[in-house]
Structure 1
Amino acid sequence: MTDVTLIKDVRELSADDLDIGYEHRAQISHGSSAPDAPLLHSDDPRLKTILRLLRRFGGVILSGPPGTSKSWLAGQVADKITEGHDDRRADIQFHASYQFEDFIEGYRPKEDASGFEPRDGVFLRLVREANKHPDTDYVIVIDELSRADVGRVFGEALTYIERSKRGQNFVLPSGKPCSIPLNLYLIATMNPLDRGVDEVDAAFERRFAKVDMPPRRDLLEELLNRNGFLDETVQRRLLGWFSKINARSAQTPAAAIGHAYFADVVDPETLQEVWDYQLKHHVERAFKYDPETRIEIMNGWADIFASPADQEVPTADETASP
């Protein structure tokens, strides 16, 4: 006779227990890729421009290649709008499986597993709060906007986020009424090379302002000077290499890199680690079908650390800036 051990009082696992429930699918991130960077001053022209555009359009998209401080700037603007009150903002990262049910509303399992119930998404929760407090500003920061199907994620709300349609009532799929208030602002970031960019442009070009954020040599120089640990020659060569690879992005857009890659560089060792574990792979991918340029860029990096007697890479003045 087979010995059978009975297991009693087994608790069923819910979706939230498995980290696949509603709260876990809506990935929340604090909008900063450079948390140790200094705060923007109120008179900073970037801050003033984006705040002005938000007041006019209700939403702004920051568009640029990796490392151009899009997420950091979005977070800075959000902090300014909310005066540092985290309960008045939401930070979300879109991804390929992000859905309307995560963002607007959807049916989710009840805690007692007795069935399903409608539950507000991140966007709808903040919409309701903003409607309750019309004299207080709220903001949603969306990282990687182009990684999701924005038409599906926003649904009919896509029409009503337009500034001219704020305050108008529409009906959600659940039958609930909804109205997006003027005091709710949206800030989004995206990489212009993502596959979903065309869909984003078509959906948002009339609704939101778009701010280009290209790689900037002046910000890299400012960052390196603030860190203050690199040898003057190494820093000059790095700036020349940075200008050179970004000049190449005119023909190969995927080659562009931003200044924020170097935010944590404090000495030659940490600079080399940026190459070994990040930029080398970026260069190999960007110039996959152009081995001659790939070798030139890689040799240029090696020349940053060459002895003074060796030939240097071109400086920024000798290379067209992007």
Structure 2
Amino acid sequence: MSELSVATPGDMAELRAMFAAAAGPMNFIAGGTDMLIAGRPLPMGGLLIDLSRVAGMAFICADDGGIRIGGATTVAAIAADRGLALRLPALAEAAAQCGSVQIRNRATVGGNIANAAPAADLVPVLVAAGARLGCIGRDGASCELAICDYTPGRGHLIAEVILPRNGLLPYSAFVKLGPRQDLSISRLNIALLAEFQDGCFGDVRIAAGALGPRPLRLPLAEAALAGKELAPATLRDFLSALTAEVDAAIPGRGSQTYKRRAIAGLGLDLVAQALGLSPRGQLFEEAAQ
């Protein structure tokens, strides 16, 4: 195997040219938190492309047409962006709870997706929102993939994350459960996007992480809320649907019993947070009984 070479393109044109010219394996690094913190080894050979200096790969554009986020945008930038927090609060909340301050300052949204960790905090929100990925293929050409169709290691570089306008429902929230309050890898995380008007839910989209090899939509839980009045009976049906989702996702796993109970508490917190209500209110207390 050839020795490892490192390249630091300065703009997108130079980056695409490297794709077209590379003959061997290509690898990418942006924040590098998996190598610096988790101790993942460097590739043994091929070309390692540093994305941290590529002009045009770190940006957040939130307008009436949707949201676009550059693949090299840091998690800290996502957490701090006021426009993004207004359009998709769940994503800002997920970013704010992702790792430590130091990790958020280096980790990128593209890396969070490409690393493909089952408990990645940003990904459930992106899945629930129907995100699409603007990628650069091995030939240097652009292509677009649904986030659920993205497979790491196929030679696609995530250049940007595209959140279509029709996926940005007006109410959203993200909650997680970890072994401690701060700096925690999620044992379970959930994102909710919803329409809500006159005490009733409209469209509802829910995705969870740490229930399988990748974050997944929860159709039973979505159906339990969609079109329903916010009432204790609705919330009880929602909690039953969440436990059924756990049973379907991890049958027989050692964590199944624990996660069946944990997801119920997270589910009530999720709905309360999305709607700006207190999870200690009578509505939620009755649902939990």
Note whether the superposition's TM-score is higher than 0.5: no
Normalized per residue, the structure richer in helix is: 1
Normalized per residue, the structure richer in strand is: 2
Q: Which protein shows a greater Rg?
A: 1
Normalised TM-score (structure 2): 0.25
